Structure formats: C-alpha cells, structure tokens
Chain A
C-alpha cells in the first residue's frame, strides 16, 4: 500500500467516509448508515473542537497564571462581561439547533419505509428472534435480498426486547402487546449481527441472530428451498432444523445438560418425573401436549415458564419435531 493510500485510508477512517467501518463506527451496510455516520462524525469533530478549546484554555491558564515564586497575586480582571457571556450562550445555542434539525431529518428518513417494502414479521421471545415470511416460513435468522427495502413488523411474546443491527444503524424496542416497525435496505451482501439491546433476563446476551443478505437471485433460491424443507427432507431432519429455528434449543439442550427447561436427550419413550408427583412416559402424545399446553404436565424441578406453541406450529411441524426426538433417543 502506498503512503498516499494509507493517508487517504486513515483520513477516511477518521472522517467516517469509509463504508467498511471507521475507528468509531462499524461497517455501513444499509442505505441509512451513511447519513447517520455523517452526522456522527460531524458531531465528533465539533465536540473535539470544543473539547480542545476547553482543555486548551484550561492548560494555558494553568501554565500562565499558576501561583509561583514571583507571581503570588492574581491580576485584576472583570468579574463578569455580559457580551462575552451572551456570546458563549448564543453560539452554542445556534449550533445545537443545527444538530437538532439534522438529527431529526435523518431520523425521519430512518423511520419512513418506502411503499414497496418487503414485509417480514419479527417475534422476540426469551431469548430468541423468529422471522416469519409472507409464505409462512419461520426462520431463526433474517434472510433478505440486497437493494430492496425490508419492513419489519415486530412484537414480543413476553418482555421488552430491542431489535438492533449495528451495521444497519437501526434499533427499535419490541414491546409485548403492540407492533413496532422498522425498515432498512441492505447495500452489502453477507452476514450482519442482530442483537437484543433491551435487557430481558438470564440469556439476554445470547439473544442473537444474523441478517443474511443475498446477491440478486440468491434470496429467491433460498426462499424456495427453505419454504418446503418440511416436504423435501426426512421428518427427523426437518424436525432437527425446527428444533433450533423455532426456539426449542434456547431452553432444551440435546446434550444432557439442564437449562431453563429439561434436557431432551434420550427422553423419548422413557418415563419422566412430573412436578405434580406422577410419572409419565414421554411418548408422541406427551410431547405433543407439552408443545401445545406446556403447563399441563411440568417436569419436576422446572418452572412453568414455557410459552404455548398452539397456533404457532403446524401439525406437520409438530410431527417432525416428535420424529426428531424419537430419532435422537434411539
């Protein structure tokens, strides 16, 4: 790399004009990101200038007016100066008006989805994101095409979560009992991190997902494959996929380690000790009941915290999950 390229690159990083991330900001991967970054870096340089002024004057005064041998006394100077004080009231006031107006304008752009947006439903639950497509497919990651506005309609099953994609500069709280909206248009292909930004309990920091942005045509291919995996794949394999994509694995391990819920390793066909005291064999009907009415027969030692999946899983999907548990217990 030549010296000039290095200088240009470094300047770009400090100014925030580079789309592959600056010292401060991550990669710019959406149409909204450059606008946010321009304002951020304007604020950075403005703040730096004011900070330099504050610290510079402080240091200058300390050096010049420090009490020392031969300079024991302060010099006379006015104890107020209305014109000067009005100046440092009004100049910052004008500056903050500019910042306010700029911030609001970019904010409106970030909040106004174009009319032709592709819509995806987002569900937040402890501690998992679920993305539901218009054709009914549900996924644990958000798959989208590049260069197409995507509108997210989001709600929560339990407590407040917050959908945050740093590379897109979007964040929106996902509140139970109402629908939150957000939108973005990806400008880069690849995988981008989704976080939950609103504290939601034990595994808040594991409530992660990816936005997977496809090149033109790639999204349609993925959608076609994903939409009918239930019919294409053997039921146990489809069940394995559902087990992670629909949130089961958040609480139920397949490794024998206990979690929020009991481990499901080798559970199928074996007796289970219930909180109520009785024993029941974990057969097809018990699994089905536990998915649809989780509170009916809670396993001993666990809290009745599992949400119902009634209306959220199709019969074929429940069957596939049962087949998966059956297979992995063999």
Chain B
C-alpha cells in the first residue's frame, strides 16, 4: 500500500496535512490480517470498494460479451443458452454485487462517520459482518456460475425460475445472504446518523449526502426483508414442491412479481438516492456556492424513500392486474417523479452566479444532470399507462433503466470516487486523464443506450438472442458505443492505479469543501480526528480559500477575509 513518501508536513496547519508519511489509517495496522479483522469503517469501506470494483469489472465483461453477440442478428460468438446466462449474470452481478452496495457500502462507509466528525459507525462489528456477508453472498453467486449458470434473467420470474433446469436455488440463496449485508449497512447508518451527530449538527445541518444515505438506509431495512422472504419461498417451492408461485402446483406466478417488485422498485432508489447525495456535494463544492434550497433537497430524499414503496405495480401494467390497480400505480409513479425534478432544478440553481470549476468530479456531476435528465424524463413515457403497454419489455426499458442506473448512479459513483479519492488514498490522480476518461464514458454511454431508446420504441423486445434484420444497424451502433465506454473505463483504471504509486500527495482539502471529512489529514488517521471540528453550515464555502503554499484549501478566519 501507499505508505512511504515525502510529505508536505512542513509546518503547515494540521488541516492541510498530507499524512502519507505519518501514521494514518492505511498504515496503522500492518499485514493482511489487520485488514481482514479491522473494525475501522474506512478500511471496511476500502475493502468494499475493491470488492465491488472487481464485481463491476466482471459484470462489465459480461455486458461486452452480450453486446458482441448482438453484432449480428443470428449467432455471432455464442449459442442461445450461453447468451441467456450472460445477460442474467450481467444483471445479477451489476445489481446485487455492484450497484446496491456501491455508493452506500463503499463510499458511504468511508465518508459517513467522517462527515459526522465521528470516530466510527455506531456498530463497527456489524459493519465488518456486513462485509463478510457480502463476501459469502458473492462467493456463492460465483459458485453458482461454475456449477451451472442461471438463465432466468436477474428478476427470477416464476414459473420459469422454478422450472428452469439450472442452479437457481444457489444464486437466489446468494442474493438472500447479500440482502443481510445490505440490511446491516442500512441499520448501522440509521443508528449512526441518529446517535453520533456532533454537538451543533442538527438534522438540517447534515451534509446532503447523509440525507441520501439515510433515505437509502430506511429502504434497505424495510424492503430487503421482503426480497429475502420471497427468495426463501422460491427456494421452498423448488426444493420441497410447495405450490406458491407455480400454477402447476396451485400457485400464482404474478404473486411473485408483486413480491419481487415490492423490494426491487424501492431498491432502485437504494441505488439512486445516495447518488443524488453525492451530486449535491459535488455541485455545491465545484460551483463554489452554497447548495440552493437545502431543505427541499433533504425533504425530497425522504419523499422519494416513502413514495418508492408504493409504486411497484408499474412494472406490471401488462401483467393482467386490474385496470384500477394500474391506474393507482400509474398515479403514484408520477408523484415520485416530482422530488427528483426538484433536486435537478435546485442543483442547476446552485450553479447560478457560482465560480464553476470543471474538475473531473464536476464533469461527472454535469454528466449526471444530462443523463439522469434523460433517464427521468423517459420515465414519464413509462408511467403513462397506454404508452407503457407498447414500450414494456422492449429496449426502451433497457435504455431507460441504464440511463437512470448507469447515467445516474454509476456516474455519481465515479464522481464520488474521484472526489474522495485524495481523501481515501492521500494521492491526486491525473486531472487531464480524468477529464478525457469522463468524456469517453459520457460519449460511449450515449451511443450505447440512446440508440436503444429508438429501437425499443420501434418494437425490439429485450432479452433477444436472435433479432429481425431491421434492428441490426441500431444494435451495431449500440455495441460500438459499449466498446468506447470500455476504453474509458480502462483509462480510469490505469490512471487511478498509477496515482496510487506516483500521484502527487493530496492536501487535506483539495477541493475547498466545507464538510468535515476535509478537515482531517489525507488519508485520515485511524481515529479520524484529533479533535472533532466545529459543526457549521456544511455548504458555507466562503471561509475556505486556496493556499498556494500549502497546495490546498485552508480555512481563513472570517475577519481576515472581510
């Protein structure tokens, strides 16, 4: 790891210190054993980060194979069963191993206690247990691939999943275990935010990232058990032949869809809420402005968390549920759009009259506004009942989903990763390559997925191995875009790894943010803070001024700046 280096520790105030050469959380305990038994939220965050990035790589390779197969309308490189397994695994790995834990468990774990000026989360052992549950679930999921990969789609719809001749039981059990990991993280965050806020930090003085994590945690704790129970029922049906979902045994397959989406729709907000929290931090910091409309943004996170429980039926407009139910779910779906719209407008208003810095994290924030804008607006098409009937289960859905989940969550994750990277590693990455890669990912993403909106509206169904020749041009363009995106990610991987060894030492506060994690050294000491910083307005950036000598932002006394 990064341990020995000449640092900036020459007489500058503690707040601008780079701690690479000194005692910090990375070198506080030595050897792998000290990592695997650590209770330090920062180390657990880093272990999560490494693990989920490995999952992201795996899921990404699956995606590239799927896109490559779709270059031609018939067989290109694999047979139909392999293709069906690959899109299933792409979905399952990306959703359950990468994107659900992505921001909360990796970035959230690292940042949350720091933002509170706390030493750790409320239950450090539970936090480590959460990580090991994740590992157990991941190992089991990978094992199921080796034993005989599932081909049910990541949604495991019955009765196909109860009749399919594949290791469905194992992978659903893996997801069951991953659910516990998610619940533990959520529980930990709720208690930490309630109990460990420092003196002077009321609810409305919390950084908005914490509001996002808090909303997420509520959903994790309340919705995940439903998925757990559903998957258990699925296992019971497969193993014991008890009729629950399979009509051949007297069950109801549509019941499964209700159960599944009762979790999985809120789960979409598990993925997007923390992403929105990240964007709030980025937009304010890099506009050098106080966030606009703090309370509206905070309340909208809670509104999203609450309404998200009541919209699951919009996945089922063509399932045969009654018209009345479809009407109610359509109505509630439109309501959940409003808090997201408020956030977007408030972020834009934050930039007004700012001093906007187009650093890499901000480029991701701007990408987010563009892509999540499209993702959100295309949601209007899908909420409108009559239009959804046509678009349901086509590539339009695939595109919409990726604009929200990739264009929203993954882009925000990348923004957050770059933003907190100096804090986590004590190193700066190459700003120039950072911007180039952000551009590559942005362009590649749009080429890949915008194309899919058009072919979906034209009627191309999803999860198709063969397709009619009329869609071939769209598919080829889409595949081309995915390769471009892949190049972008390779670039990111290279310069981030390079920065670990050669990156310039990072100051405590490279961006001039006012939240507490920037008021300790980079990387922080194992105990986070020598003394808890005073809790102020987390978006009052005014006192933080660039200090050329220190190479970072330092706080000036208000009298001095006046």
Interface centre among B80, B248, B351 (most CB of A within 10 A): B351
**In the complex, per-residue mask of B226-264: 1 if CB is within 8 Å of any chain A CB, else 0:** 000000000000000000000110001110000000000
Task: Give CA–CA (A79, B294) in the complex, Å.
Answer: 8
Q: A39-B384, A58-B348 are in contact. Are A72 and B355 (CB under 8 A)?
A: yes
Q: Say which residue of A26, A107, A175, A178 sits within 8 Å of B459 (CB atoms).
A: A26
B389 engages A110 (CB within 8 Å)? yes
Chain B neighbourhood of A204, CB < 8 A: 84, 463-465
B253 engages A176 (CB within 8 Å)? yes
B353 engages A76 (CB within 8 Å)? yes
Q: Say which residue of A74, A195, A201 sits within 8 Å of B353 (CB atoms).
A: A74
Please tell me if B381 contacts chain A, counting CB pairs below 8 Å: yes
Q: A99-B384, A162-B318 are in contact. Are A201 and B351 (CB under 8 A)?
A: no
In the assembled complex, the CB of B321 is this many whole angstroms from the nearest CB of chain A, namely: 10
Please tell me if A218 contacts chain B, counting CB pairs below 8 Å: no
B341 engages A104 (CB within 8 Å)? no
Task: Give CA–CA (A175, B341) in the complex, Å.
Answer: 36
Please tell me if A203 contacts chain B, counting CB pairs below 8 Å: yes
Within 8 A of B (CB), among A31-61: 35-36, 39-40, 43-44, 46-47, 50-51, 54-55, 57-58, 61
B539 engages A67 (CB within 8 Å)? no
Chain B neighbourhood of A88, CB < 8 A: 341-342, 345
Q: A171-B393, A176-B247 are in contact. Are A103 and B383 (CB under 8 A)?
A: yes
Interface centre among A67, A105, A171 (most CB of B within 10 A): A171
What is the interface size of chain B, counting residues whose CB is below 8 A from a CB of the partner? Answer: 88
A85 engages B296 (CB within 8 Å)? yes
Please tell me if B123 contacts chain A, counting CB pairs below 8 Å: no
Q: Say which residue of A35, A54, A162, A197 sits within 8 Å of B369 (CB atoms).
A: A54
B159 engages A176 (CB within 8 Å)? yes
B331 engages A100 (CB within 8 Å)? yes
Interface centre among A36, A79, A93, A201 (most CB of B within 10 A): A79
Please tell me if B224 contacts chain A, counting CB pairs below 8 Å: no
Please tell me if A193 contacts chain B, counting CB pairs below 8 Å: yes
Within 8 A of B (CB), among A255-296: none
A54 engages B344 (CB within 8 Å)? yes
Chain B neighbourhood of A197, CB < 8 A: 318, 392-394, 461-462
**In the complex, per-residue mask of A60-89: 1 if CB is within 8 Å of any chain B CB, else 0:** 011001110001111111011100110011
In the assembled complex, the CB of A315 is this many whole angstroms from the nearest CB of chain B, namely: 28
Chain B neighbourhood of A26, CB < 8 A: 458-459
A100 engages B384 (CB within 8 Å)? yes
Interface centre among B326, B388, B389 (most CB of A within 10 A): B389
Interface centre among B80, B81, B345, B384 (most CB of A within 10 A): B384
Chain B neighbourhood of A177, CB < 8 A: 247-248, 252-253
Interface stretch among B160-168, B206-214, B552-560?
B160-168
Q: A166-B390, A176-B253 are in contact. Are A201 and B296 (CB under 8 A)?
A: no
Q: A23-B454, A73-B355, A193-B459 are in contact. Are A205 and B465 (CB under 8 A)?
A: yes
A62 engages B334 (CB within 8 Å)? no
Please tell me if A121 contacts chain B, counting CB pairs below 8 Å: no
**In the complex, per-residue mask of A122-135: 1 if CB is within 8 Å of any chain B CB, else 0:** 00000000000000
A111 engages B323 (CB within 8 Å)? yes
Q: Say which residue of A67, A162, A173 sits within 8 Å of B288 (CB atoms).
A: A67
Please tell me if B483 contacts chain A, counting CB pairs below 8 Å: no
Chain B neighbourhood of A302, CB < 8 A: none
A173 engages B338 (CB within 8 Å)? no
Q: A66-B358, A175-B320 are in contact. Are A106 and B385 (CB under 8 A)?
A: yes
Q: Say which residue of B163, B345, B377, B387 sits within 8 Å of A40 (CB atoms).
A: B387
Q: A166-B459, A205-B465 are in contact. Are A51 and B373 (CB under 8 A)?
A: yes
Chain A neighbourhood of B160, CB < 8 A: 159-160, 199-201
Please tell me if B302 contacts chain A, counting CB pairs below 8 Å: no
Interface centre among B289, B346, B349, B366 (most CB of A within 10 A): B349
Minimum CB distance partner of B81 in chain A: A202
In the assembled complex, the CB of A61 is this many whole angstroms from the nearest CB of chain B, namely: 4
Task: Give CA–CA (A288, B160) in the complex, Å.
Answer: 29
Chain B neighbourhood of A97, CB < 8 A: 334
Q: Say which residue of A84, A103, A173, A199 sits within 8 Å of B385 (CB atoms).
A: A103
Chain B neighbourhood of A169, CB < 8 A: 386, 389-390
Please tell me if A242 contacts chain B, counting CB pairs below 8 Å: no
A71 engages B355 (CB within 8 Å)? yes
Please tell me if A198 contacts chain B, counting CB pairs below 8 Å: yes
Q: Say which residue of A66, A79, A202, A203 sits within 8 Å of B292 (CB atoms).
A: A79
Please tell me if A164 contacts chain B, counting CB pairs below 8 Å: yes
Minimum CB distance partner of B468 in chain A: A193
B356 engages A66 (CB within 8 Å)? yes
In the assembled complex, the CB of A264 is this many whole angstroms from the nearest CB of chain B, namely: 21
Please tell me if A308 contacts chain B, counting CB pairs below 8 Å: no
Within 8 A of A (CB), among B278-334: 287-296, 317-320, 323, 326-327, 330-331, 334
In the assembled complex, the CB of A104 is this many whole angstroms from the nearest CB of chain B, namely: 5
Chain B neighbourhood of A74, CB < 8 A: 287-289, 353-355
Task: Give CA–CA (A85, B299) in the complex, Å.
Answer: 12
Chain A neighbourhood of B81, CB < 8 A: 202
Q: A201-B151, A202-B151 are in contact. List 17 more A-B contacts (CB 8 A).
A: A24-B454, A54-B348, A58-B351, A65-B355, A76-B353, A89-B338, A100-B384, A104-B327, A104-B386, A105-B386, A177-B248, A197-B462, A198-B157, A199-B157, A205-B463, A205-B464, A205-B466
**What are 16 of the A-B contact pairs (CB < 8 Å)?**
A24-B458, A36-B390, A40-B457, A50-B377, A55-B369, A67-B288, A76-B353, A88-B341, A89-B338, A106-B387, A173-B318, A176-B159, A176-B248, A177-B248, A203-B80, A204-B464
Closest 4 CB pairs of A and B: A166-B459, A177-B247, A103-B384, A106-B386
Chain A residues near B (Cβ < 8 Å): 23-26, 35-36, 39-40, 43-44, 46-47, 50-51, 54-55, 57-58, 61-62, 65-67, 71-77, 79-81, 84-85, 88-89, 92-93, 96-97, 99-100, 102-111, 158-160, 162, 164, 166-167, 169-173, 175-178, 180, 193, 195-206, 303
